[in-house]
Homo-oligomer: A and B are copies of this chain.
Amino acid sequence: MKVVLDSPLDMHLHLRDGDMLKNVVKYSAECFAGAIIMPNLTPPLTTIKEIKAYKKRILDFAGGLEFEPYMTLFFKDSYDYDFLKEAKSFVKAVKLYPSGITTNSEGGVKNFDMDKLRGVFEAMSELGLVLSVHGETDGFVLDREKEFVDIYENIATSFKDLKIVMEHITDRRSAVLLEKYDNIYATVTLHHLLYTVNDLLGGSLKPHLFCKPIVKTPEDKDVLRELALEAHPKVMFGSDSAPHPKEKKECNGVAAGIFSAPVVLPALCELFEKYGKLDNLQKFVSDNAKKIYDIQPPKKEVVLEKDEFLVPNICGNVVPLCAGEKLLWRCSVGSG
């Protein structure tokens, strides 16, 4: 049995830089036609020059694989219209991080006063730049996304022409915003479709399942599964694959991030097949994103075969999601 996906897209991807980029980019570039590339490098990407150079490094390391890195800017309230207009030729979205909320987000937004953010949001609305948001407060960790709902609502109602993507949603209480506001969209990761707090720490503690936002409750997972399996038209797949070297994950003070890139499509196939929803996978991993972002990725057929796939224990110096496990599907790549 085979599933052939047309130009699958990963709408939320961390590729890092340097040796790590070199190590991980192939896992995404082989199986996806394109991806939205997160800008939280050290320092974060805030200039066109940096973005062009980073994109070049990505393509160089991808070694000729057919793969379009859709670049993003790290949100700053100081950006002006002229800068964003020029940036529009090089980026698809501007990624907003609340300050300090996750890896390399220290330079993010501290104050969600709409008057302070109005200039940038109005320019983005006019230019058709997507606002991509890591929506968490610094409150109690299980409620951080829920506590951010007010900010999402405030932005959505104040800037009706701004396309807002709630990145890696995890909470049933933020998922309701998809129905409430025309201009709110979302990405969903693989790991939030598969795991809950119980998997993270219900038995022994699993540092390789530690990410931000953290995995949530079974009820939250069920709501996310419904969105993904039904290919809700406002919902896109975004892996949030975020590699850290093994020594930063198995230590005292574990870095947040799950390296899922090597397994995302096989694991999604397994999940969608289990619930009899393979027919919806194409929309979830590509068609919805193409419409929401208005993009035409390179034509690329990705073939998933129902054939045992033993996930490697380590990819370079990074432990992947499902390390050492057997998945039911494997990825092979055709060409468009």
Contacts and interface: CB of A to CB of B under 8 A. Distances in A.
Nearest to A198: B141
B202 A141 contact: yes
A214 B196 contact: no
Nearest to A208: B252
Contact of A140 (B214, B217, B252, B254): B217
A210 interface: yes
B208 A141 contact: no
A264 to B, nearest CB: 20
Contacts of A249: 252
B202 A205 contact: no
B142 A254 contact: no
Interface in A200-259: 200-202, 204-208, 210, 214, 217-218, 249-256
Nearest to A138: B202
A206 B252 contact: yes
Interface string A127-154: 0000000000000111000000000000
Contacts of A214: 201
Given A140-B196, A217-B140, A252 B201 contact: no
B207 A205 contact: yes
Contacts of A141: 197-198, 201-202
Contact of A207 (B208, B217, B254): B254
Interface of A: 140-142, 196-198, 200-202, 204-208, 210, 214, 217-218, 249-256, 319
Given A140-B202, A201-B214, 10 more contacts: A140-B198, A140-B217, A140-B218, A142-B142, A142-B197, A200-B201, A204-B254, A206-B252, A250-B251, A250-B252
